[in-house]
């Protein structure tokens, strides 16, 4: 699997180029340290990774990171903070507007990047403080999209591996074509199958997955005979 160079520089594989990334079948891993947390990169999130990896080029020393729950956005933010020396504000819309305003100004004054994390972009926050609203409007946006097939497959393989579950390639292929295209659905799928395998002490298989996931409403139920 290809990896981003630890220095953040692009290698000859074209990792830093979103067009090159979109042509690679398997997700990439960032950062390259195999002993630390790794964030899987695919076309669904590579633009966000590229933007955070090049924070020095931001027009202001602040950015918004938005994406669905369980998309790894907090992990991505922690990696960003470790590499940049920046600060993070998670669940930014739930913080006081005064806190966000002062944090934004502090980032500019000290040239220390600030990353605010949210479910949706700032226009949907209904910000009342005019000065904060204008600052957020000038803040670049890094957005994580719904997972593509390559990322869903990689996430399934990683979660099965972490739990020591023997998920054969044909089962993973079967799941990729059937579960909802969301990060939450991946986690719920693995949770349901893990519990079923432990309770029934049976081998993980497509028939078991079909029955288990249909009962949990994670895939459509088979038609009645």
Name the phi and psi angles at 65, rounded to 5.
-115, 115
Q: Are 18 and 46 in contact (CB under 8 A)?
A: yes
pLDDT for 224: 54
Answer whether 0.85 is exceeded by the pTM: no
> Pick from 220, 48, 35, 78: which is nearest to 141 by CA?
48
H helix and E strand count, the chain: 9, 6
Q: Are 90 and 77 in contact (CB under 8 A)?
A: yes
Name the phi and psi angles at 121, rounded to 5.
-65, 165
pLDDT for 38: 77
pLDDT for 222: 67
CA 7 vs. chain centroid, Å, equals: 21
Buried b (16+ CB within 10 A) or exposed e, 54-70: ebeebeebbbbbbbbeb
pLDDT for 5: 35
pLDDT for 159: 93
pLDDT for 66: 97
Q: How far apart are CA 179 and CA 91, in angstroms?
A: 27
Residue-by-residue pLDDT tens, the chain, 225 positions: 323 333 333 333 333 333 333 333 345 554 544 344 678 999 999 999 999 999 999 999 999 999 998 999 999 999 999 889 999 999 999 999 999 999 999 999 999 999 999 999 998 999 999 999 999 999 999 999 999 999 999 999 999 999 999 999 999 999 999 999 999 999 999 999 999 999 988 899 999 999 999 999 999 876 655
All structural domains of the chain, each given as residue ranges with its CATH number in brackets, are 18-143 (3.40.50.300), 149-215 (1.10.8)
């Amino acid at each position: 699997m290809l990896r981003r160079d630890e220095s953040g520089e692009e290698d000859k594989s074209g990792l830093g180029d979103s067009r090159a990334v979109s042509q690679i079948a398997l997700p990439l891993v960032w950062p390259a340290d195999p002993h630390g947390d790794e964030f899987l990169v695919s076309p669904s999130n590579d633009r966000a990774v590229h933007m955070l990896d090049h924070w020095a080029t931001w027009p202001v020393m602040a950015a918004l990171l938005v994406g669905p729950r369980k998309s790894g956005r907090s992990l991505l933010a922690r990696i960003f903070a470790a590499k940049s020396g920046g600060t993070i504000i998670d669940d930014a819309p739930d913080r006081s507007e005064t806190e966000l305003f002062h944090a934004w100004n502090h980032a500019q004054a000290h040239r220390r990047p600030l990353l605010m994390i949210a479910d949706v972009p700032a226009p949907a926050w209904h910000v009342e403080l005019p000065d904060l609203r204008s600052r957020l409007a000038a803040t670049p946006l890094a957005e994580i999209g719904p997972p593509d097939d390559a990322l869903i497959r990689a996430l399934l393989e990683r979660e099965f591996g972490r739990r020591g579950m023997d998920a054969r390639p044909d089962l993973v292929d079967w799941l990729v074509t059937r579960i909802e295209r969301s990060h939450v659905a991946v986690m719920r799928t693995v949770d349901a199958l893990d519990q079923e395998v432990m309770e029934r002490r049976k081998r993980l298989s497509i028939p078991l997955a079909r029955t288990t996931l249909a009962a949990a409403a994670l895939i459509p139920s088979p038609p009645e005979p």
